[in-house]
Amino acid sequence: MVTESPRHAPVMVEQVVNALGVESGGAYIDCTVGEGGHSAGIMAAVEPPPRLMGIDLDEEALSTAKRRLGEGVTLVHGSYIELRRLAEVHGFLPADGALLDLGLSSLQVESPERGFSFMREGPLDMRFDRRQELTARLIVNEYPERELAALIHELGEERKSRRIARAIVRARPIRSTTELAEVAARGAGGGRRRGIHPATRTFQAMRMATNSELENVERGALSAIETLRPGGRLAVISYHSLEDRLVKRILARQASACVCPTGMPVCACGHSPSVRLVNRRVIRPTDEETAKNPRSRSARMRVAQRI
Ligand SMILES: C[S@@+](CC[C@H](N)C(=O)[O-])C[C@H]1O[C@@H](n2cnc3c(N)ncnc32)[C@H](O)[C@@H]1O
């Protein structure tokens, strides 16, 4: 789908610009450029604008970003897990700042043919990168029940994971998003829990598994740290607790002088910190922003500075 104007409202743009300490003459990397909302904010923050590279797996989002940001910005179709190599190839090594805005964009959720939404009838796709072979359809229809239950439990933090996995296996083949939503809701016993649709967590798990999201976040954050100059900043925005806990753990480990297992009488790891944590408490959107953009409600930002 080609969109003329961006659909996605970027979250905490001002806080991102401040966290990265954007300066003219700096080189910044938007590792999840999407439709370019944060990148546009970074470019508009100072005059003359800094150098900027944007990376995304989603070609459709990149084409909107290209129209929005113009020729001066380097846009790359690829994964942030390769950040250091991409930065080197495109002349952004070392970088002054990097942003990881995790999760998915409104453009993706609102496009039924991408298969991300349980409210819109579409194929079970859920790939950020449409060149990838693994789709949600394959996971839903071919993974063994135990593996499905484990994914729904771990990535969806869904208490009724086993019942949902059983319902999915019995209902195979499942072809569409709305079919999966119905089966998952039935498996979970129907009805909304804490205000969310009963298929929400199953969909989150299928999306995260399709795109290897947790594994990628870890690889991406480590690659981003390696890409920064000393004093350069990394900002990471996450949208649910599982992601945020992982980001917190990765940054804390990188900031720590010792990563020995607890209980070791003396340090034997030889680890040296590569970052310092800029904010111990997460940065959250203002009430004004959450009133305007309800999707921002769950956003949490953590910032680290390369030593
Ligand atoms: C929350 S959206 C970013 C929105 C963007 N900040 C904006 O203002 O438009 C997250 C983006 O990350 C992209 N993405 C997810 N995993 C990725 C990866 N491993 N490498 C690069 N981009 C990825 C998705 O395709 C999606 O466009």
- The DSSP-derived string for 56-86 is ES-HHHHHHHHHHH-TTSEEEES-GGGHHHH
80 in contact with ligand 1, CB cutoff 6 A: yes
Ligand 1 mutation pick, 128, 212, 289, max ligand atoms within 8 A of CB: 128
Domain final position from 185, 210, 235: 210
Separation of 56 CA from ligand 1 center, angstroms? 6
Ligand 1 atom with the smallest distance to the CA of 10 is 8
117 lies in some domain? no
- Report the pLDDT value the prediction gives residue 114, as an integer from 0 to 100: 97
Separation of 152 CA from ligand 1 center, angstroms? 22
126 lies in some domain? no
- Report the pLDDT value the prediction gives residue 293, as an integer from 0 to 100: 94
Give the residues of the chain that fall short of pLDDT 70: 1-4, 191-194
150-165 pLDDT, tens digit each: 999 999 999 999 999 9
Cβ-based burial of 195 (10 A; exposed 0-12, middle 13-18, buried ≥19): exposed
Cβ-based burial of 15 (10 A; exposed 0-12, middle 13-18, buried ≥19): buried
Domain final position from 210, 242, 265: 210
- Report the pLDDT value the prediction gives residue 192, as an integer from 0 to 100: 65
160 lies in some domain? yes
List C-alpha distances in Å: 120 to 9, 108, 109, 124: 20, 12, 9, 11
244 in contact with ligand 1, CB cutoff 6 A: no
221 lies in some domain? yes
Q: Clarify whether residues 93 and 34 are in a common domain.
A: yes
Q: Clarify whether residues 218 and 206 are in a common domain.
A: no
Q: Whose CA is nearest to atom 22 of ligand 1?
A: 56
Q: Give the integer Cα–Cα distance in Å for 280 and 248.
A: 9
- Report the pLDDT value the prediction gives residue 3, as an integer from 0 to 100: 44
What is the tally of structural domains in the chain? 2
Domain final position from 210, 231, 254: 210
215-251 pLDDT, tens digit each: 999 999 999 999 999 999 999 999 999 999 999 999 9
The pTM score is: 0.95
> Domain span at residue 206?
137-210
Q: Whose CA is nearest to atom 18 of ligand 1?
A: 79
**Strand 51-56 relative to strand 27-30, pairing:** parallel
Q: Clarify whether residues 184 and 218 are in a common domain.
A: no
List C-alpha distances in Å: 251 to 22, 87, 118, 124, 245: 21, 21, 33, 34, 10
